[in-house]
Amino acid sequence: MISVILSGSAIPIDHAVFTTLLDNSVAGTYKGYEQALEMASIKYTDLVRLSEKGDIPIPLFFAPLPLVQVQVAAKTQKLLAGVSKDTFSIGSRAKVNLRDVELIVKDLIRKQELLRKHDQSLARNKIVDLLRKPDPSPDTDAARLMHALDLSHDSIRACRKREDALELMIERIEANQVLVSRSVQHYMPQRLTHVSFSGMTISDSKVPFIFLAGGDQSDQQEPVGRTVFTLALMTVLIARRIFAPMTWDGGSAETELGDEYDVAGAMLMPKERLMTIRPSSLDDTKRASDEFKVTASAVTLRAMRLGIVSRDIARSHLEELRVEFLERPKGGPLGQILPENAVRKYGGRELSKRMLRALDSTSISPGEFCRAVCLNRLKPNRIDNLRRVVA
């Protein structure tokens, strides 16, 4: 049993009820939970705090275990309506637990429902299912997806910086009703702690979501170039109708990366161009990565899979790149992001623009807009600031 301390009295609750509820929520990552298990007791005020963090009704802690199990199962089933419980891993052994991303999943699904309710112009999404039946050639699938997105190799390579290429890709992907959300500390409903993953794809027949975690670069790669490849890879997953948390390791030559990786590689590093460059030295590889706006590690693996370099050379390049990355001077503290820019980045430009139109048509109130779209990080008197940054 776990003792709940209230006004000097100890009220026992079932240990299994306590762990079932908290292990299936984000509150299970908080120290208060660990301390309660160690001490076999918890103050009532701390229990209330955990219940609020985990969105758990307090009465459930005092309910019979079978009832609690039914409630948790129902919640999980609803939560996973748009996301598979299984982690989609490419060259990675990492797994993502549901509770690690639970509140973000719920919020993005809520945003999908909100947009479907208020935007009658939405059509059935043409990217979902586009590559449901893989072509024997990844290059063919890549060309189909690029054509559907109205995105060309030349337009990506013409971008001056990787950041510009990322913004261009997001613009074209969102123009096709695939919403893109990016991690922003303090502007999401959940901290991304105790988890290392690339992002996730969330199902919807009209407005599927891509969430880019953009967090821990555990494979030691240049962050923006890695995000460019991650976005391409997750767009392939949408076209394959694969909706799941995703992890991938782009820094190893030892693992089988699979078809989805090859399609993303063909989107960003077309075979003909790479065969012409034939990057063999590390300097050649770095120059190619600048041209393609990806990481040098991505170029190395793509060249290996096309037979341009051997596995041994690829392994040597990847190790050198890893050492170089670790030896880079660490940047100073990041400047504070403006709230309207943070809301645009996490919610996505396209969602913000469409919901602003709903606001202008009085389909949604300013208060509801601030709550549902901005998570109350903006007040009604700052909505015009958001309007300016998404225009």
Span 283-334, pLDDT tens digits: 999 999 999 999 999 999 999 999 999 999 999 999 999 898 888 776 555 5
Nearest to 207, CA basis, from 375, 351, 391, 369: 351
Q: CA–CA separation, 302 vs 291, rounded Å?
A: 14
Give me the pLDDT at residue 115, please: 96
- Kindly list the distances between the CA atom of residue 126 and the CA atoms of 152, 171, 174, 205, 263, in Å, as whole numbers in the listed order: 18, 16, 12, 9, 18
Give me the pLDDT at residue 216, please: 47
301 — phi, psi (to 5°)? Answer: -70, -40
Q: CA–CA separation, 352 vs 213, rounded Å?
A: 19
For the chain, list residues with pLDDT below 70.
29, 79-81, 85, 91, 193-194, 215-222, 254-256, 330-335
Q: pTM of the full predicted structure?
A: 0.82
145 — phi, psi (to 5°)? Answer: -70, -40
Give me the pLDDT at residue 218, please: 52
H/E segment holding residue 13: strand 9-13
- Residue 337, SS3 per DSSP: coil
Q: CA–CA separation, 310 vs 76, rounded Å?
A: 45
Q: CA–CA separation, 301 vs 315, rounded Å?
A: 9
Alpha carbon 13 to its chain centroid, in Å, reads 37
Per DSSP, 73 falls in state: H
| Cβ atoms of residues 4 and 39 within 8 Å | no
Nearest to 50, CA basis, from 15, 74, 21: 21
Determine the number of helices (DSSP H) and then strands (DSSP E) in the chain.
18, 8
Give me the pLDDT at residue 25, please: 78
* Boundaries of every domain in the chain: 2-79, 88-327, 339-390
43 has which bridge partners? 5
Q: Provide the token pair at 58.
A: 């307090």
For residue 344, the one-letter residue type is R
Q: CA–CA separation, 176 vs 196, rounded Å?
A: 29
